[in-house]
Structure 1
Amino acid sequence: MVRRKDIDGSVSVPDFYGKELRWQREAAGLSLEAFLEGSFYGKTYLSDIERGERRMPMDLARHADRVLGTDGFFERRCEDVRRARRAGHPAYFEKVLEAEKYALTIEEWCPTLFPGLLQTPAYARAVILAGLPLSSEAEVEEKVSARKARADLFEADHHTPEYWVILHESVITEPLLAAQDMTAQLDRIAELADRRRITPQIIPRKQRSYPLMAASILAMTFPDAPPLVYTEASYSGDTIDDPALVERYRKAYDRLRAVALSPDASLAMIKAAAEDYRNGKHPDRFE
């Protein structure tokens, strides 16, 4: 008889049910391969679920209940896990949260704001309150914490995607925050760039027209799956996987990158603006 492993339910809902799945599988005397027989999933995928790193799809939850005789337990808990994984994020963002952990490259264009992956807590709080001004303090803090958790992507030793971000100059020179907080925000971006975790580029204000003027996008490629593009408005978002449309967005992003300042010039501009804010000056516009 397999001895039941201790399960720390306080870690997270995905971690709890991942451990429960592993215990039930081992209690049934099934290897990863034996458990997956008759499904369309591989060992690595199942291991990620058991470690709480990937959500369980509904069809695999039903497969687990059937193979393990758990009377619908995993099917009923699928939505619990989905909600826990996206805590602090809207439902339409769920696919991005899942995908970015496995991305080979992430390319982002944000014409009006620093993107969520790069936001400091102060910047995130200001953005959240601007869009959802009636939020309680607890709701705001949940969303801020969720954005901070996403940024752990840049600290992972085992896998860090190649992240490329293009920003408009106005994001730097028209501050959303007080000087001290803008300094911290720009320092954060410079620090990530200096550690070669990200590559930032700036579209200068003097560039009057450029691709993707009316859209913000996030494009991801993967080692073992087709690329995705995510577009977002204030209260909605859309994940695009149609190959032809994804290709159009990625070509537009390449053209946008071509009219941006070089990575070196962009980083120098970010650092110079941080120093200006630090010294109580308003950054000069790039000419």
Structure 2
Amino acid sequence: MPGPKPLDPSSSPRAMLGAELRHKREEAGLTQEELGSPLFVSGSFIGQLEAGTRRMQMEYAVKIDEILATDGYFVRNCEAAKKSKYPDHFAEAAEAEAIATAIREYAPQLIPGLLQTKAYAWAVCRAYQPTAPEEVIEETVTARLERARVLDHPTTPLLWVVLDEAVLRRRTGGAEVMAEALWHVTELIRKHRVIVQVLPFSAGGHASLNGALKLMSFADAPTLAHLEVLNASKLEDDPATVARHELTYDLLGASALSPQDSLALIESVAEDYAHEDQP
């Protein structure tokens, strides 16, 4: 059986922390299960920490320093890693997204962050925070656009999105902003950088009526499911729970339009918005 994939500690603070955790655990002669037992977590969870797909929480850092006799190393670095440009409820998911090899997402209300234009992102952030200072909105928008740079790589991650038709019809920021945002999505589709399907209103009830869903796959760690509601989110790694969410996504894709028909619909709606701006 092949050993774990070598980590690149320079890729992110979490990768650095994970590489050191693996080194210190192996130096102590412990398996992932043996280290996880006194932490009341599974061996696979320790593997996720080592792979950098999960953020180390302070309660685990304290115990790990004690078990591995690392003189407060993990506590110090865990504290430093807590500083994030993303909201607290979303930071761990954003960091996992950055190292995922594949992302599958169902968006029921808005164009996903990885596909947003600056004007669209600004309209969304301003709607979320109607009284926030301009500099706060600017910082949030900048962080969101930086997330989208993962798509600068020609093939990784694979991004497959199912957009509810409501995403196309919800006039976020006005007709001009919507036209630009949808053209941006179609450009990425035509460049074969993303796969997009539209779940039409005619599909009726579907498997994810409760809200948004994101599945993130990794080269050397189990798939994570990310569920998000207003100012709160949750990462799921329980295999049975993740499998259920994967089935949900498969059902959404089966109910959605084909990629070709989806592209045609998105372009048609973009044209409608563009024509609204013409005298």
CA distance in 2, matches of 1:274, 1:110: 18
Question: What is the aligned-residue identity percentage?
Answer: 36
2:100 counterpart residue number = 103
TM-score by length of 1: 0.73
Other structure's SS at 2:82 match: helix
CA distance in 2, matches of 1:270, 1:134: 32
Shift of 1:56: 7.5
Indicate whether 1:37 and 2:34 are aligned: no
* One of 115, 120, 131 as aligned partner of 1:123: 120
1:211 counterpart residue number = 207
Change (3 A) 1:244 1:61: closer
2:110 counterpart residue number = 113
Other structure's SS at 2:216 match: strand
Other structure's SS at 1:171 match: helix
Other structure's SS at 1:279 match: helix
Question: 1:212-246 CA deviation, whole Å, 9 max, x = no partner?
Answer: 01211101122211111111111111111111111
CA distance in 1, matches of 2:31, 2:96: 19
Runs of 5+ unmatched residues, structure 2:
1-11, 33-48
Question: 1:42-93 CA deviation, whole Å, 9 max, x = no partner?
Answer: xxx99x99xxx99788479959x966xxx75763343233213xx1x22121
Q: Please, which moves more after superposition, 120-129 or 160-169?
A: 120-129
2:272 counterpart residue number = 276
Contact 2:62 2:72 survives alignment (8 Å) = no
Contact 1:131 1:234 survives alignment (8 Å) = no
Shift of 1:151: 0.2
CA distance in 1, matches of 2:245, 2:55: 28
Other structure's SS at 2:173 match: coil
CA distance in 2, matches of 1:155, 1:141: 22
> What value does the CA root-mean-square deviation take over the aligned residues?
3.5
Contact 2:236 2:242 survives alignment (8 Å) = yes
Task: Name the count of aligned residue pairs.
Answer: 245
**Structure number with bigger Rg:** 1
Runs of 5+ unmatched residues, structure 1:
1-12, 19-24, 26-31, 283-287
Q: Please, which moves more after superposition, 206-215 or 224-233?
A: 206-215
Contact 2:102 2:216 survives alignment (8 Å) = yes
1:174 counterpart residue number = 170
Contact 2:104 2:159 survives alignment (8 Å) = yes
Contact 1:14 1:55 survives alignment (8 Å) = no
Change (3 A) 1:111 1:136: same
Other structure's SS at 2:196 match: strand
For 1:1-287, list aligned pairs within 5 A. Answer: 37-38=27-28, 58=61, 62=65, 72=72, 75-84=75-84, 87=85, 89-156=86-153, 160-280=156-276
Change (3 A) 1:91 1:40: farther
Contact 2:54 2:96 survives alignment (8 Å) = no
Other structure's SS at 1:109 match: strand
User: What code does the residue aligned with 1:186 have?
Assistant: L
Shift of 1:137: 1.3
Other structure's SS at 1:220 match: strand
Structure 1's consecutive aligned runs of 4 or more residues displaced over 4 angstroms after TM superposition are 32-36, 53-57, 59-63, 71-74
Shift of 1:103: 1.6
